[in-house]
Amino acid sequence: MVLSLLGLRRRKRDGDEEYLAVQDVETLPRRRLTLVLGLAVGLATVPLVMLYVLLVLSSFADQMLSGPDIFTARYSLENWRLLFEGRLEPAAGRLYTTRDLAMIVANTLLVAAGVTVVVIVTSVMAGYAFSRMRFWGRRRLMEFIILLHAFPGVALIIAVYAIYVWSLGLVPREAITGYRFLYTILARAALEIPMSIWLMKGFFDRIPWEVEWSAMIDGASRLRVWWQIVLPQVKPGIAALAIFAFLAGWEDLIYVHVFLYTGGIKTLATFIEEVVGNIETAYLPIAAAAGTLYLLPTIIFFVATQRLLLQAMSGGVKG
């Protein structure tokens, strides 16, 4: 049966001799190919899905689950109650208040929303320029932008931190907290912008030139055509871009740790790092509850917008 699913057939030739013939993938029936790909993806993702399931179940259990013990554990909302009361284990006192936890969530939202706005505004305008305007060095500049995306954020952190320290001398003391947020947002958004420009250029490339020409012949300005005719047609791309950028800001740990946590400002990422900082003494079911809270926006976004994500990946690859 497995050989049949993979396109391998047994044939007889010259009496008892048998051999396996590989059927070309392009000639496989579409239903069988879909079944094979589905099984492959399912088997590859089962371990990852099981880890997330264990994390979510552990947030309601009286112990950190690792497998068969999911049937013997006792489940309740006790871990979530302790988390929102600011207690990191049942016998410990309060380390923070519910208001502190709300501020941590608000800080995370502020960083994620800021990264989203900066990435969308920059990428939409730059993507349109690369798609529609011809200027000297355009192709080289596009290659340079995609090269920038190859650098991991952690490799740039020393240079970004050096600029941050130098710029602190220009900022008034009472505005340092706001400047920390602004710098974190700009630095994190800069890592997302190169690939986002390429994605948006792919969406603009799919819009026929004739659409814009018709509007301009009717008397509309270039700016009006861009705002009222072109942008509405790339809304799925902008929405998908917003999701990617929001998740990048929400999940970031390195940049928020360097620029915010050192100034006493916490986000959910640094909060969870603090909870599990000493893994030997940490009460892991509460850490699992904090981790589940941290995952909620990601799960909601993915379930609600998975079609947009697939459309963005397929629409942003045109050169």
Quick: pLDDT tens for 7-23: 444 444 444 444 444 55
pLDDT (0 to 100) of residue 315: 53
Domains contained in the chain, CATH given: 109-315 (1.10.3720.10)
Percentage of the residues of the chain whose pLDDT score is greater than 70: 84
pLDDT (0 to 100) of residue 318: 47
Neighbouring residues of 61: CB distance < 8 A, sequence distance ≥ 6: 70, 73, 74, 75, 79, 285
Q: Sort residue 7 into left (φ over 0), alpha (ψ -120 to 50) or beta.
A: left
pLDDT (0 to 100) of residue 317: 45
Q: Answer yes or no: is pLDDT of 319 > 70.
A: no
- Give the model confidence (pLDDT) of 249-295 as tens digits: 988 888 898 888 888 888 888 888 877 766 666 778 888 888 888 88
- Give the model confidence (pLDDT) of 127-175 as tens digits: 999 888 888 888 888 888 878 777 777 778 888 889 998 888 888 888 8
pLDDT (0 to 100) of residue 153: 74
pLDDT (0 to 100) of residue 179: 92
Buried b (16+ CB within 10 A) or exposed e, 280-306: eebbbbbbbbbbbbbbebeeebeeebe
Average pLDDT, the chain: 80
Q: pTM here? A: 0.75
